Amino acid sequence: MMRISQAITSPVAHDLMNHDTLNQSLLNHAALNNISVGHKPLAEKVAVLPPSATAIRHRLSVMFVLLKNFSMASFTSAVDALVTARLVDSTIEIKTHTCSIDGERVMSDIGIEVVVEALPRITAESQFDMLVICGGYRTPLIPDGRIHALIQSAVQHNKWVGGLWNGSYYMAQEGLLRGSEVSIHPDSLALLSESFPAAHPSDRAYVISDRLFSCAGPGSAMQVMIEICGQIFGHSIQRGIQVILACDMPASEGPSLVRRDGETQLPYSLRLAIELMRSNIEEPLLLEEIARYVNLSRRQMERQFSRYLDMTPSRYYIDIRLQQARRLLLQSHLPVIQVAVACGFISPAHFSRAFRATFGVSPNKLRFQQNNDE
């Protein structure tokens, strides 16, 4: 098992006032992401004055709270944007702090264990300007009083609050996203929608609203942090970071989440039918209703499903509901019968049979295996 040493993850490692530490931080980040460092460090290609010759005009302190199995790529992408802001303008001082809920080492999604600090208290006098909750694909999204207190304190003292990957789940839990758009990894969408129906999942890869932000993955973690740097430090800093880090990203009006199953290639009526299925899971629509909504006969709709997806509409619909059930079973502590109802199954026996036929294991067995793995 790999571990990141205290020297890398302590606050000193991210004190970007120190030029030598800055270069080492870049090399460490490159090593974490398997990036070749055969060429000269990037810092040597950017003119950075020594701290003694530069007056600090902007200061930013960011607290990253790393959850179990957090996305290392999302975390380092966000940090990379902050490090690069200091490269672009040496009058900017940025400090990052990595913390865990219990102050113990945290295992990332790629098997690297990170040494962290204990959670500090956020007060009006504290030096933290931003709180970032870092989740990941296998992060268990379970209500936690310590996260609750941390977010509430940050909001109370007008700090920035953000979530990476599925960290926005905890922002929604606090009611911060009620009536607002939120970006979250698609795999956590089922739990978010079931738990917090007032939150509006966005098709965008990241969302910034006032001092709240959320993103769905590693690429958008870098993009959202670059844009936030622009809001805090100015557009010229944002542009400077983009020139260094985002030179290979396609220009667009805003990144969107990748559609599943190659849906962009499907006929509009079929895409609309699938969207209706996904939007009506707890109370499934009749196939005749779906066909009527998309201006097709049931037979025409069946032919489209057969031609483009190689299955019947009813099979596709039940697969969507079962996939949703699987996510809820793995990501929540909802009782199995409640999961069944949330996914449109009135009969627990029918739900169990359909689930076993699709996944080769019963709902209870799947959850048992998940608990043993943890």
How much is the pLDDT for 226? 96
366, 329 contact by CB (below 8 A):
yes
Distances (CA, A) of 294 to 230, 267, 277: 43, 11, 12
How far apart CA 73 and CA 108 sit, in angstroms, is 9
How much is the pLDDT for 124? 64
Summarize pLDDT for 50-83 with one digit per residue, the tens: 544 557 889 999 999 999 999 999 999 999 999 9
How far apart CA 358 and CA 354 sit, in angstroms, is 6
Enumerate residues 6+ apart whose C-beta is below 8 A from 320. 274, 277, 278, 281
End-to-end CA distance of the chain: 17
pLDDT at 12 over 70: no
Summarize pLDDT for 118-146 with one digit per residue, the tens: 888 776 667 789 999 999 998 988 888 99
How much is the pLDDT for 43? 39
Backbone dihedral region for residue 130 (phi beyond 0: left; psi -120 to 50: alpha; all else: beta): beta
How far apart CA 177 and CA 173 sit, in angstroms, is 8
Strands 181-182 and 160-164: unpaired
SS3 sequence, 225-249? Answer: HHHHHHHHHCHHHHHHHHHHHCCCC
Give the angle 210-211-215 at the CA atoms, nearest 5°. 100
How far apart CA 203 and CA 197 sit, in angstroms, is 16
How much is the pLDDT for 373? 64
Lowest mean pLDDT among 45-54, 157-166, 209-218, 339-348: 45-54
Number of residues in the chain: 374
Residue recorded with tokens 């920035």: 160
Say which CATH topology domain 260-373 has: Arc Repressor Mutant, subunit A (1.10.10)
Residues of the chain with pLDDT > 90: what percent?
A: 59
pLDDT at 6 over 70: no
135, 166 contact by CB (below 8 A):
yes
Domain boundary assignment for the chain: 2-245, 260-373
How much is the pLDDT for 255? 58
pLDDT at 9 over 80: no
CATH superfamily, region 2-245:
Class I glutamine amidotransferase (GATase) domain (3.40.50.880)
Question: Any idea of the CA torsion for 214, 218, 221, 227, to the nearest 10 degrees?
Answer: -130
Type and span of the H or E element at 206: strand 206-209
**One-character DSSP codes across 23-47:** HHHHHHHHHHTT----S--GGGGS-
How far apart CA 162 and CA 108 sit, in angstroms, is 19
Mean predicted lDDT score pLDDT of the chain:
82
How far apart CA 30 and CA 227 sit, in angstroms, is 22
3-class SS at 21?
Answer: helix
